[in-house]
Structure 1
Amino acid sequence: MARVVMKFGSATLTSTEHIQDVAKKVIAEKEKGFEIVVVTTAMRGMSKELAKMARHLSDNAPKRELDALLSTSSQLTSALVAIALQEEGYEAVSLTGWQVGIQTDAMYGNARIDEIDASRIEAHFMQGKIVIVAGEQGIDNSRNITTLGKGGSETTAIAIAAALEAERVDIYTNVDGVYTADPSQVARAQKLEEISYDEMLELSNLGSQVLHPRAVELAKKFQIPVTTRSSEKDTVGTLLKEEVEMEKNLVVRGVAYESDVIRLTVGYDAYSNASLADMFTILAENRINVDIIVQAIIDGLKPTVSFTILKEEFADALRVLEDSKLSLGFSFADFEIGLAKVSIIGSGMASNPGVAARMFDRLRREGIPVKMVSTSEIKVSVVVPQDEMIRAANALHDEFNLFQQMSPKA
């Protein structure tokens, strides 16, 4: 029997009425003959409330205890969904991450899934049950509860789908698909009918909030079709898959942006003191994500390397650099705040030269300064002043005619 994994976000689980609506959607898929796994996340605001309670008790609560605490939020919703399904006459069982066999590393708050033992899910399927899994969590080798951090529920859903060789994953959210840009900020943004794994991965890494990069990477690795769809409207969503047909032959298919970017600059007295490998290895070991990197070596000036990080990782990055200053051999570190990253994405860019030049020219005509640049085969990113971010996104959306994308039919 074919299997489907259904993931419901926090916006779909804000009340018992919403949970009853979730149950109806699950039942509809069950009645089509699928074996169903439902992955839940926490009710909106619940994790923040739990974290707030912990902070009232301690300014330095152990990460192990925080994971044990925060994992309960999605456990609550999984149990409520199971109760709603049982009330409708369907066999259902809720399971925590560790009960379902999700094995992770021991990085509390940002754990990675090592493997999944799906035998317990298989046993419940044999009994005709719908399985509801509390997302965002697992257990490490010492049998401590861990949480997966941002995108944990989506990652859980796709990892389970891979373990079960499921037909697809359906992600239910408060948006009805993936758009060419954020429709709340870009007036003529259009919904995409399909998007490739690579394009979605770039969009996710560059600021789109629809799917987390970790989840997209897993979907690509195991070639799992993923549909993002509305939890409220009965419309066709956006299908994520390996290759898609170009819509209206547009080279650029999306614009993404990300605020609160910080540029860190590290300087050396001499080039012989600089070791980029050592610096970025230390940052990576502390799970600090570095994005755009620019190195400057100019005769008569001290060599520097600049890189961007997100605001929430700024304090950790400074701490790591300060702790490692002697071993890394740099003489000074400086930073610039009030920046944002704006990007254009499209798989057709690889075979169409001149896209970056067109982007830079439009920004020049708009009077928007470009502070840093990063490119790949299917994206170009620029760092601009944060107060110009939305204007830049709208200008680029217009420049590449993204309003002409074909939207799927309802």
Structure 2
Amino acid sequence: MRRVVITGMGALTPIGNNVEDFWGSLKEGKSGAAPITKFDATKFKTKFACELKDFDPLQHIPRAEARKYDLFTQYALVAVAEAITHGKVDFDQLDKNRIGVIWGSGNGGLATFHQQVAEYVQGDGTPRFNPYFIPKMIVDIAAGVISIKYGLRGVNFAPVSACATSNTAIIDAFNHIKWNKAEMIITGGSEAAITESSIGGFGAAKALSTNNEHPETASRPFDVTRDGFVMGEGAGALVLEELEHAKRRGAPIIAEVVGGGMAADAYHLTGTHPEGEGAYLGMLAAMEEAGIGPESLDYINMHATSTPLGDVSELKAIERIFGRDSKLSISATKSMTGHLLGAAGAIEAIASIKAIQHGIVPPTINCTEVEPAYKGVFDLTLGKAQERPVRYAMSNTFGFGGHIATAIFKAYEG
């Protein structure tokens, strides 16, 4: 079986515009939530989100090029550039026919769609759409743009599984390399969904927190007062590579991908199964592929979005597999980053891999009173990062429609 390793990572998040700043903020327990600046949210029920800070795409992408891309594609390009630099990748020295891109987004060019349709509706009925409207909007375009920019002619597509999207992309990349369909794949996800339509739509579905008085503490997984998730934006990129290929080019090997499990709740449009049935199946499938039992896992980066039902259903699934006396560490980094939707899995994969690298589990912040049924049951890493050896780390992501994607990463041991 071909082994798959991670050789590069890039991150653009509400708490750090590169991997090291992101990781530093995670360790410190820093919240990325603040009042929305991208539009006037005065009349919205939710008036805050986890936006990027001090980010100017024109510092990374020429203006003439940037105008062709929606923010979600711009975010993708920035994160991928960091991952490629980090991974010391020189594409001109490699077979580009064997290098692919599998890149996801839950919503694609939502801001572009909103702006173009609004301008048409507010006009006199004459269609004056931007010629870049469709290529800026479609969900697969970031994968295409990355491929074009670097001349990568291998497998190229965009999975969409809502908030499980970028974990699905990582698992797909893992499989394609394992199946000898590629030697290297650039993978991950990006999202730029802090828009009127997105905040309004998720708000109407009662999915968002409305804690406008204290946005920095609004994302509070496991807390009895949690009232919904906080919208985030950004991108996470990983370079996945076949082990021997990485060795031949002298790549820095960060960690190994050893398991991927995908399943479905088959239960509800937006809600998770109350007993976490899909989560249970996804985690089991990932562990089976990794060839490990419950006792081997050290850390789970939970999907835990701070919704009343979702957090508990995931804890039930974990309890079913690992028992109530498990010694593994658990945390919910969305308490700091907010929920990046289709990009969540990618930045949480990076958080999991950094935990392996440094032997530090990032915390769950803002939880002051744990859900009664789980008070004192699991090590939820509340409030402060914890040092402990992490050999195997699991990352869970779930999406509207019941989509489940679980990835397992392992310390590289040669």
What TM-score results when the alignment is normalised by the length of structure 1? 0.31
Structure with higher RCO (Cα < 8 A, 6+ apart): 2
- Give the structure with the higher percent strand: 1
Q: Which has the larger radius of gyration?
A: 1
